[in-house]
């Protein structure tokens, strides 16, 4: 979006709303198409389960807190709150009830892995190109700055250093790190998940080589994105993936504890032999102080308002309505949910995460297991960051999860869409001919 803004508009002139909201418009069109297909009985009426029920209840409760707090006259706050906090859940509900052929499901994942590879490579290029080269493509010339509706900064620097954090095509390094949280496990499982026959191993050797290459490049990107919460999330999620894949192997326990010991030795060695780097990049006392203060304010706010103070009252949505253009940023997605929707919303959101992870694991598909690990990684990030704020991250992850959990039919997505538009165009032609 920044590139198009730099080409077609002045950098400081925001896009018109109907262009900036292209993702939301496409989701509305998709929802209408799904409703028409259900109404015409082209696809069966969705069978709702516990996960659907909890998500629906959470959406209703969150919207009700917004309407109760802001009312109809200030509905814009509720809309922006829903954009950041609810849109990806609505998209998931739509996708997971759209029938797909297994071939179509595989194509979606192949396309995504290709796009992820391009994103990974661009992150590497950023490390070696001039730090401000993105300014020529519509990014803001001011680093580490955020203005609602304005262009993205060309770089987020580590405090008190001249070190840029990698962000690839995303609006910041934390968003890029959240994207890496669920793409790295996909490449990890692509390389290491077991095949049943030797022919399958030989046939998929190029694909596994591609996965191994992209996994290593992704690790490089993750390291130089300098997101400590992402590092923690990646360690936990990839460890879980390692356990899932190899827990039944005889050598597993010795190898597992050897890797844990090696990691601890590396951490301690870094603190002794690279003390300045350890203190400025990993410890970051000033950053920790900011996290602590914002988190403390968020916790106190929830305790004072246990039923929430309205959807959009905190997080990125609030930045558009606060005079300081910063908003109420509690530095945690869970605190954001608690501030907006109170304890009821927070409990429902935790239930959604648990039920989704359980469903992904139960489908016995390596992609589901990988996404479950990715969900765990992002969930850990969300303790100290607003990990689901980026539409590129949230819509992609929940869209992929919906695709995996969608019903399988002989006549899938593309066939139904083709038949629908063919029938629609024929009716229009007959009417005006």
Q: What is the pLDDT of residues 309-328, one digit of tens each?
A: 999 888 888 887 776 666 78
* Residue 21: predicted pLDDT: 73
* Residue 147: predicted pLDDT: 64
Question: What percentage of the chain reaches a pLDDT higher than 70?
Answer: 80
pLDDT-derived band at 429 (thresholds 50, 70, 90) equals low
Return d(Cα 242, Cα 257) in angstroms, integer. Answer: 12
Return d(Cα 87, Cα 59) in angstroms, integer. Answer: 9
Question: What percentage of the chain reaches a pLDDT higher than 90?
Answer: 40
Q: What is the pLDDT of residues 214-235, one digit of tens each?
A: 999 999 999 999 888 999 999 9
Largest CA distance in the chain: 82
Q: What is the pLDDT of residues 79-126, one digit of tens each?
A: 889 999 999 999 999 999 888 888 888 899 999 999 999 999 999 998
DSSP sequence for 252-263: HHHHHHHHHHHH
Contacts made by residues 216-223, CB under 8 angstroms, sequence distance 24+: 217/120, 217/121, 217/123, 217/124, 218/120, 218/180, 218/183, 218/184, 218/187, 219/184, 220/123, 220/124, 220/127, 221/120, 221/123, 221/124, 221/166, 221/168, 221/176, 221/180, 222/177, 222/180, 222/184
C-alpha 399: how far from its chain's center? Answer: 10
* Residue 157: predicted pLDDT: 83
Does the pLDDT at position 412 exceed 80? no
Return d(Cα 241, Cα 369) in angstroms, integer. Answer: 8
8 A C-beta contact, residue 79 and residue 320: no
Helix 333-362 to helix 285-304 angle (10° resolution) is 90
- 155 vs 106: which has the higher pLDDT: 106
Does the pLDDT at position 196 exceed 80? no
Closest residue by Cα to residue 353 from 382, 321, 323, 312:
382
8 A C-beta contact, residue 360 and residue 96: no
Return d(Cα 268, Cα 265) in angstroms, integer. Answer: 5
Element (H, E) at 208: helix 205-225
Averaged confidence pLDDT in the chain: 82
* Residue 199: predicted pLDDT: 52
pLDDT-derived band at 278 (thresholds 50, 70, 90) equals low
Please tell me whether residue 170 adopts helix, strand or coil conformation. Answer: coil
* Residue 193: predicted pLDDT: 82
- The CA distances from residue 48 to 28, 89, 243, 345, 401, in Å, are 20, 14, 32, 20, 16
Please tell me whether residue 100 adopts helix, strand or coil conformation. Answer: strand
* Residue 87: predicted pLDDT: 94
* Residue 7: predicted pLDDT: 47
Range in 14-23, 36-45, 166-175, 186-195 with the lowest mean pLDDT = 14-23
* Residue 234: predicted pLDDT: 93
Structure tokens at 374: 């990715």
Helix 87-96 to helix 50-70 angle (10° resolution) is 150
Closest residue by Cα to residue 342 from 379, 312, 382, 309:
309
* Residue 356: predicted pLDDT: 97
DSSP 388: T
8 A C-beta contact, residue 319 and residue 325: yes
8 A C-beta contact, residue 231 and residue 237: no
* Residue 343: predicted pLDDT: 96
Is 208 buried (19+), middle (13-18) or exposed (0-12) by CB count in 10 A?
middle
Structure tokens at 282: 């990993």
Range in 128-132, 133-137, 293-297 with the lowest mean pLDDT = 133-137
Does the pLDDT at position 266 exceed 80? no
Return d(Cα 375, Cα 352) in angstroms, integer. Answer: 11
pLDDT-derived band at 426 (thresholds 50, 70, 90) equals low
Structure tokens at 115: 């796009």
Q: Give the pLDDT mean for 369-381.
A: 96
* Residue 380: predicted pLDDT: 95
């Amino acid at each position: 979006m920044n590139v198009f803004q730099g080409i077609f508009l002045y950098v400081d002139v925001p896009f018109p709303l109907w262009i900036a909201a292209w993702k939301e418009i496409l989701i509305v069109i998709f929802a209408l198409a799904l409703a028409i297909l259900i109404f015409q009985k082209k696809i069966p009426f969705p069978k709702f389960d516990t996960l659907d029920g909890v998500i629906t209840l959470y959406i209703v409760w969150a919207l009700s807190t917004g309407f109760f707090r802001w009312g109809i006259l200030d509905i814009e706050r509720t809309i922006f709150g829903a954009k950041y906090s609810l849109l990806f859940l609505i998209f998931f509900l739509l996708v997971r009830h759209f029938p797909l052929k297994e071939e179509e499901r595989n194509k979606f994942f192949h396309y995504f892995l290709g796009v992820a590879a391009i994103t990974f490579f661009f992150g590497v290029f950023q490390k070696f190109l001039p730090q401000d080269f993105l300014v020529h493509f519509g990014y803001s010339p001011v680093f580490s700055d955020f203005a609602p509706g304005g262009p993205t900064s060309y770089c987020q620097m580590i405090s008190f250093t001249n070190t840029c954090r990698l962000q690839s095509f995303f609006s910041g390094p934390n968003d890029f790190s959240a994207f890496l949280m669920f793409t790295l496990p996909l490449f990890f499982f692509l390389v290491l998940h077991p095949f049943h026959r030797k022919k399958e191993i030989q046939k998929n050797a190029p694909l596994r080589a591609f996965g191994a290459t992209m996994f290593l490049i992704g690790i490089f990107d993750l390291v130089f994105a300098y997101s400590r919460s992402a590092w923690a999330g990646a360690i936990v999620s990839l460890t879980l993936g390692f356990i899932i894949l190899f827990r039944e192997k005889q050598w597993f326990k010795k190898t597992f504890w050897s890797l844990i010991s090696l990691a601890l030795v590396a951490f301690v060695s870094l603190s002794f032999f690279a003390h300045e780097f350890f203190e400025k990049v990993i410890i970051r006392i000033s950053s920790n102080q900011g996290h602590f203060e914002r988190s403390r304010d968020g916790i106190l706010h929830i305790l004072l308002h246990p039923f929430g103070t309205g959807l959009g009252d905190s997080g990125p949505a609030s930045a558009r309505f606060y005079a300081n253009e910063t908003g109420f940023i509690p530095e945690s997605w869970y605190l954001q949910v608690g501030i907006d929707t109170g304890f009821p919303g927070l409990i429902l959101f935790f239930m959604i995460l648990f039920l989704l992870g359980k469903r992904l694991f139960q489908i016995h598909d390596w992609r589901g297991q990988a996404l479950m690990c990715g969900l765990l990684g992002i969930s850990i990030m969300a303790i100290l960051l607003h990990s689901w704020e980026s539409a590129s991250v949230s819509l992609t992850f929940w869209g992929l999860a919906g695709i995996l959990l969608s019903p399988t039919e002989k006549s899938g997505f593309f066939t139904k869409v083709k038949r629908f538009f063919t029938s629609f165009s024929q009716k229009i032609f007959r009417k005006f001919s």
